[in-house]
Amino acid sequence: MATIYAHIGSEKCGSSLIELLFLNNQSMRDMLESQGIVSATQFHVALRKNVVGTQWDEGFHGRIKSQLLTPLRMSGKDVFISEELLLNLTHEKEKPNPLDLRIGFSKRLLQGFDQIKIILIVRRQDKFIESHYNQQVKRGETRAFEEVLENLTLDNYCWDVIADAWAEGFGKDNVTIIPFERSVLESAEGGAKNIVSAVCRVMGINVDIRTDDLPIVNPSLRPELLNAQREINATMDRATAEKVADILAVKVLKVPGAAQGLFSPEGRQHLLDRYAASNRRLFEKYIPQCSVDEYLTAAD
């Protein structure tokens, strides 16, 4: 029986690290291969290369399925894919939410495998929003955090609603939700040490992968550089501004685990209160082995 494991994001929840290790790291690929699992690197490349040009129309859908996924399925081996664009969160209010379209696309794309296992990594919403804003500034954003926050569709970050939608499409038993935060993972008895180990466990590989010594992938800007980078974005051409941001992110590294500090303490707790019922339901339904407490309070 051929199983496909589909890691769908979310963005700002370690997707770049997952892609680096599971799709491009030869030692990890060899380890998966020894367990009968193939990493579909070319599938990820094809989706990223064509997302703007074709918007994943049905012709493109048919080509990548027949050329990339069907041969892997016919080999009889299990397959791992990773692509956060399969989830494709919508952030700003004026943009439509493509959730149902993406689920429908994914169902047609993955149809034929004996089992389809969906893996979604989530993050506490305040930290998620701060990380999203940091990435936007790296890529040309000139607005202040408060203005961007005002324009976000906050309901789109109710992880339980997203989990339910994918569970409806693929079956609840086939959807695994993994919290991004190491402390939340470790709150479970015998819990995984990090998201990489947690993803391995979904595939039946009970190993602890050390991530502390790995190179930082897609590093954030230090919070004190955000306003300066916004000024650079406003005064320089986009390509040059992005190069500056990439240099700053690598050369002036953010302290690991340091708070972004974009919310006031009151604003942070107010946001978490907004999501409290959603997060409680998420943990009760999909992550009962872990404690929800860290998702309910702004105390770090």
- pLDDT tens-place string over residues 257-274: 667 789 999 999 999 999
Q: Which residue has the higher pLDDT, 45 or 95?
A: 45
Q: DSSP code of 78?
A: E
**Which of the residue ranges 5-9, 91-95, 253-257 has the most confident prediction, judged by mean pLDDT?**
5-9
Rounded CA gap, 127 and 133, in Å? 10
d(CA 257, CA 181): 10
Cβ atoms of 194 and 256 within 8 Å: the answer is: no
Stronger pLDDT, 218 or 177, i.e. the higher one: 177
Confirm whether 104 is domain-assigned: yes
Can you tell me the mean pLDDT for 133-160? 95
Report yes or no on 9 lying in a domain: yes
**Within a domain: 291:** yes
10 Å CB burial of residue 188 (0-12, 13-18, 19+) is middle
- Please give the structure tokens belonging to residue 196: 């990489």
Which CATH number goes with the domain that contains 116? 3.40.50
Whether residue 175 is contained in a domain is answered as yes
The confidence score (pLDDT) of residue 46 equals 76
Residue 54: pLDDT over 50: no
pLDDT bracket for residue 53 (50, 70, 90): very low
Domain range for residue 137? Answer: 3-295
Handedness of CA 121, 124, 127, 129 (dihedral sign): positive
Residue 217: pLDDT over 90 = no
pLDDT (0 to 100) of residue 52: 46
Number of structural domains the chain divides into? 1
| pLDDT single digits (tens) 150-199 | 999 999 999 999 999 999 999 999 999 999 999 999 999 999 999 999 99
Give per-residue pLDDT as tens, 220-231: 999 999 999 999
Q: How confident is the model at residue 101 (pLDDT cuts 50, 70, 90)?
A: confident
Predicted pLDDT of residue 41: 84
* 108 domain residue, yes or no: yes
Amino acid 50: pLDDT: 60
Q: What is the pLDDT of residue 100?
A: 81
Examine residue 96 and state whether it is found in any structural domain, yes or no.
yes
Flag whether 300 is in a domain: no
State the pLDDT at residue 94. 62
Neighbours of 103 (CB within 10 A): 20
Mean per-residue pLDDT for 99-107? 86
Q: Does a structural domain hold residue 39?
A: yes
What value does the mean pLDDT take over residues 112-135?
Answer: 96
pLDDT for residue 110:
92
pLDDT tops 60 at residue 66? yes
User: Mean of the per-residue pLDDT values for the chain?
Assistant: 90
* Reported pTM: 0.93
